[in-house]
Amino acid sequence: MKPNFTKFPLLFISLVLCLITCKTPVNNKAEKKADNNWIEELTIEQLQKGYKEGKYTVKDVVKVYLDRITELDKNGPQLNSVIEINPDALNIAENLENEAVAGKPEGPLYGVPVILKDNIDTHDKMPTTAGATVLRNSFPKSDSFVAKKLREAGAIIIAKSNLSEWANFRATPSSSGWSGVGGQTKNPYVLDRNPCGSSSGSGVAVSANLCMVAIGTETDGSIVCPSNNNGIVGIKPTVGLLSRSGIIPISFTQDTPGPMGRTVEDVAITLGALTGIDSSDSKTLASQGKYQTDYTKYLKKDALKGKRIGLLKKAMGFSDKVDNLMNKTVAYLKANGTEIIEIEFPKGENYEEAESKVLFYEFKDGLNKYLAGLGSDSPVKNLKELIEFNNSDTIELKYFNQNIFEQAEKKGDLNSTEYKKALATMLKATREDGIDKVMNLYKLDAIMAPTGSPACKTDLILGDHSVGGSSSLAAISGYPAITVPMGFIDNLPVGVTFFGRAWSEPLLLEIAYSYEQGTKHRKTPKYIVSD
């Protein structure tokens, strides 16, 4: 029997209106996801052009990124790359717009949403935790130099990113991307794969388009490795080009912040906004006359012609598939006018063993100073108290120990003969007898190597088990390195690293940009459940 709608005119009208206007919850969700896809792979230049043309406002853009964090990081694939969202992000965006209307000059990062690794101090409503439960409620009294420079350049710090706890300097083994506060960060390409670290969340957030650019930090591999695993560009600057004040330290000799982005251009723009002399960080004094505020002038598409690049053979051989990508990269460089010279590094003293000793000493010294600087608000005053806290905590030692902490605590101060000898050994081996010697010998503009392997599976029982990696020479020497995507292996990205002499960022950016523009290997992740 057919219903007689003439007897129920109001019901009939209501049903018709619902059919016209109502959508199912599934369609609502799908539409919401589609609505913010326009932001994917947007560059800083494109973003700021859109502002000028009135296509959107800074507040609109910040809201889209915050929505994506909810959609992809907290719900959906649950990437877990963000440890804290800035509750004032939308207000900051609105104030920035008002200042622009009032005639305030727009900085190079005007309206750019940025995420900071959560070992970088911000003086706002977000704590700086290093991922550690002991610092869950630690609110620094001032911005780090990096955060200050970002704000001055017009950027909006929308969140803090998850990281390998204490920048992966607590335990061996460990799982990169895990912290007591944030849990385990996932790789956006294949979700059970590891993002690498320690700037894990920064790499994932950039790759998944949860921000425009992110700031990571590196002691040895912590910018280039997550950039490799997450298919993005990352630059580890010369130590001293960017200030470390207000950053939870590992090593006075090796630590540096650095920008991570989806393009070389975005990284170059951000790098220039962060440079400058900081009286609170003596390493920056050496950058006087060497730092620049605009690195975009070095972005030339034909920069490969005439370059001499050394191929570091000892960094290869750990994977036939990675070697195949490297061989294709070499062939491309040669086809575009680059001379490739296969090089071997001289066998000198064990600089990696010396590095380990230096890091133990400098970590204890630096961390004790940072914790003391927090004043009465800090629940622990030094490394010894931190070790005791972890022993009594229910989260911190759930998966891995704190043997690195314990080894560092046994070390003396920086006047130790062992420390001074190890420091001299590692610097001489990687600088005078290493990078400088080889580059002078072969008259090189840069050295190249595979950044690492495809991401290993995350393992909270046995820890990381990746193979390959070429970060140590640039990291230990304090010289610059940049990694760029060079292809994929089984749905997982792999990068190539170019590194060279101190303060050679302009030259490295030239090479990286020209290679990137000619190859375009970057792909947006698809959040595959398993490979």
What is the helix (H) or strand (E) element at residue 408, kind and residue range?
A: helix 403-409
In this predicted structure, what is the pLDDT of residue 179? 98
Residue 490 belongs to a domain:
yes
Tracing tokens 């000619």 back to the chain, one arrives at 518
Q: What pLDDT was estimated at residue 530? A: 84
Rounded to two decimals, the pTM is 0.93
Question: Predicted confidence band at 16 (pLDDT cuts at 50, 70, 90)?
Answer: very low
Structure-block tokens of residue 120: 């970088």
Tell whether the model's pLDDT for residue 62 goes beyond 90. Answer: yes
Q: Is residue 158 part of a domain?
A: yes
Report how many helices (DSSP H) and strands (DSSP E) the chain contains, helices first: 18, 13
Decide if pLDDT at 11 tops 50. Answer: no
Contact 160, 146 (CB under 8 A): no
For residues 87 and 95, what is the distance between their CA atoms, to the nearest angstrom? 14
Classify residue 362: in a domain, yes or no.
Answer: no
Mean pLDDT value across residues 103-131: 98
What's the CATH number where 133 sits? 3.90.1300.10
pLDDT digits (tens, 9 = 90+) for 164-178: 999 999 999 999 999
Segment 229-243 mean pLDDT = 99
Cα 139 to Cα 145: distance, rounded to the nearest angstrom:
16
Please report the pLDDT score of residue 346 as a whole number.
80
Average pLDDT on 40-54 reads: 98
Q: Which domain holds residue 477?
A: 39-302+451-519
Q: Taking a C-beta distance cutoff of 8 angstroms, is the pair 130, 118 a contact? A: yes
pLDDT value, residue 347: 80
261 beta partners: 233
Q: Rounded distance, CA 179 to CA 244, Å?
A: 22
Average pLDDT over residues 482-511: 98
pLDDT digits (tens, 9 = 90+) for 83-96: 999 999 999 999 99
185: confidence class by pLDDT, cuts 50, 70, 90: very high
User: Is 55 contained in some domain?
Assistant: yes
pLDDT at residue 254 above 80?
yes
Q: pLDDT (tens digit, 9 = 90+) per residue, 282-292?
A: 999 999 999 99
pLDDT at 12 over 90: no
Residue 21 has pLDDT above 90, yes or no: no
Q: Are 232 and 224 in contact (CB under 8 A)?
A: no
- Confidence (pLDDT) at 531: 55
Q: Is residue 501 part of a domain?
A: yes
Rounded CA separation 59/111 (Å) = 8
How many domains are there within the chain?
1
- 228 contacts 493 by C-beta, under 8 angstroms: yes
Higher confidence at residue 472 or residue 18? 472
Inside any domain, residue 380 = no
Supply φ then ψ for residue 217, to 5 degrees: -135, 150
Residue 114 confidence class, pLDDT cut points 50, 70, 90: very high
Per-residue confidence band for 9, with pLDDT thresholds at 50, 70 and 90: very low
Assign residue 182 a region (left: φ > 0; alpha: ψ between -120 and 50; beta: otherwise).
alpha
74, part of any domain: yes
Instruction: Please check whether residue 234 lies inside any domain of the structure.
Output: yes
User: Which range (11-20, 455-464, 474-483) has the least confidence?
Assistant: 11-20
Is the pLDDT at 504 greater than 50? The verdict is: yes
Q: Where residue 349 falls among pLDDT bands split at 50, 70, 90?
A: confident
| Catalytic center residues | 117, 198, 222
Is the pLDDT higher at 27 or at 375? Answer: 375
